[in-house]
Every structure is written in structure tokens, then in C-alpha cells.
Structure 1
């Protein structure tokens, strides 16, 4: 695991100043958009339970108390994970770190689409809370690695819209799927979207400028 998430090694700086600036601009936008969209899709995998609560209750699969306990497991593990993963992201390959977190979150949602026992839901949702905490630190670290001080605040503000993107997709797309095909497909739809997000992050969320043969910002 230490080798998998090890921060990328720097490559020799290549090209003229103009060529470097052109590559920098292209890669910075890729990092920004993949961080914004990717973290938005983290939210789809985090809010899926909220969408399917009513059909689960109506089907007598879980009680309100059980759903409350399940929901709370995410908040406890998310809080602990965000504290720990904030430190880890500073020293990690954030491309792998963030894509791995979303992939595991998607797989958790996929598994939950096939079973409905209280204990299994609670364990899975707790795991989901932990890996969900890998998204925000990676995104914030990317801003420090790719943008100058005077730009970071502005791009942080734009990146913050990712929450709204994720909520919109959850309450429109996932809710529609769940209403037509059942609560199981609410989780499965979130899983499919999350896997797509993990691929986007892995392809376009670059670790450091130095690993691309560019100087630091």
C-alpha cells in the first residue's frame, strides 16, 4: 500500500518556456475539472442511502432506528478518516489516492444493492465513510501542487461547487432510477456513476507538475 500510494518522482524538465506554459495550462485545467467532477461523484456514492430510505422502510427491510444507526456510522468514520487522510494526502500520489477512494465507495454501493441486512449495511456504510474522506484532502492538495498562492482561493471556491453537482445528480438521476427499478438499483446506479468518476480521476487528475516534466508553480 505504501508503494501504491507513494508520491510520484519528478521527471527532468523538458521543452522551452513557451511549451512548458502550454502544457501547464492544459494539465492544470484537467486537474481542476477532474477534481471538481470527481468529488461531485463522491457525493453520489455518499448520498445514495438518503434516496432509498423510504422504499427500504416501506418494504419493511429496515426500521427507522436501524437506518439512523447505519447513517451515523458514515459520519463517525468520515470524521476520523478525514483527520487521518488529510495527513496521508499530503505525502501521497493523489491521483491514485483519490481514485482508489471513489472506487471502493462505488464497490460498497454495488454490494449494498444486493443485500439488505442491518449489520452488513452498517459495516459497509462505515467503510464508505472512511473512503469518502479521501476525496476532499486530495482535491485541496491538488490546488497547492498545481496553482500559485494567488490563484488557490479562487479555484477552491469554484471547486466547492462540486457538492452541488453531486447532490443534483443524486436527487435527480439516482432517485429516478430507484423509483422505477427499486431501492437496490439506487445503490447500483450510484456505484456505476462512482466507477465512472474513478476512471476520470485516474486519467486526468495528475499528481504533481514535477512528475510531468514541469517546474513547480
Structure 2
């Protein structure tokens, strides 16, 4: 018989789903706007390609560091810091005066984004019973699809209707 989520687990699942969808939106919203950013700053394809690289390096390294830290500290705090920091970096990116600023801001977005997934997994491990834990992670993994669709849809629409900024 399939185990059901408790009330507390349902609340956690909804919060984690919303949080990680927001994380995906603030991570993948750049891709649809890259052509506009390239044109706005007069960049080559190689130069604009530095943006995803500037994000990926601290993101990958930060995942490892965060993994160690969430074992000693409350994972909710890391998630909150990561989400708020990433939101601030997205706002700052839209107001960046030049490409060098964009690179630095997107690098910092990678740092903040690295503080989200590992704490999320730790929260699921800590607050979900063994019988429903794997299902909870599966349900949260759906945010990858939801977040991508939202990010590409919103970013593409906003870029076409107004500007990448």
C-alpha cells in the first residue's frame, strides 16, 4: 500500500516545490536573453558564452562546500540565503552597466544557487519519513521541467515584449 504524506510533509513538499521552481527560474532565465545581451553590449558569441561559464564554476564548487556545511548547520537557512541572494543577483543583472558587471553578478548567482539543492535534499532526508522520502524527491525533481518552462516562457516573452533588462 502506498504511504501518504503527513500534513507536515505536504507543507514541506509544497514549500520545496515552489522554492526550487523559483530557483530554476532564476538560474535558467538567462538563456533566452543571450542574443539580446550579445547585441546590447556588442559581444561575440564567445564573449557572451562566458556568462554560463561564470555561473557554472562557482555553482559546481559551491555544491561541494554547501554539502559539508549543511551537515553542521540548518539547511533552511542556506536555502533561504541562496534563494534571496539569487533573486537579488537577477535584479542586479538587469541593471548592470556593462558586461564585466554582468559576469561578476552571474558568477555570484552561481554561488547563491549552489546553496539550494543540497540543503533541499537534506531537508527531505530530515523531515520526510523513509516510506515517502523517495517520492518526495521525485516530486521535487519535477520542478526542473516546471522551472525551465516558466523561465523560458517568461524570459522569452519579456525579452520580446520589452527588453532583456
Normalising by the residue count of structure 2, what TM-score does the alignment of the two structures yield?
A: 0.90
Superposed, 1:176-191 pairs within 5 Å as: 176-184=157-165
Name segments (4+ residues, structure 1) moved above 4 Å.
Answer: none
Q: Secondary structure at the match of 2:96?
A: coil
Q: Determine whether 1:121 maps to 2:102.
A: yes
Asked whether 1:78 is paired with 2:59, we answer: yes
Q: What runs of 5+ residues in structure 2 fail to find an aligned partner?
A: none
**Residue 168 (1) aligns with residue 124 (2):** no
Residue 109 of structure 1, CA deviation = 0.9
Runs of 5+ unmatched residues, structure 1: 1-23, 185-217
Q: How large is the RMSD of aligned CA atoms in angstroms?
A: 1.6
**Larger C-alpha radius of gyration, 1 or 2?**
1
Q: Match for 2:83 among 93, 96, 102?
A: 102
Aligned-partner Cα distance in 2 for 1:160–1:83: 20
Q: Higher mean Cα deviation, 126-135 or 170-179? A: 170-179
1:183-208 Cα shifts (integer Å, max 9, x gaps): 10xxxxxxxxxxxxxxxxxxxxxxxx
Out of 145, 156, 159, the position equivalent to 2:137 is 156
2:33–2:164 CA contact under 8 A, matched in 1: yes
**Matched pairs, number:** 161
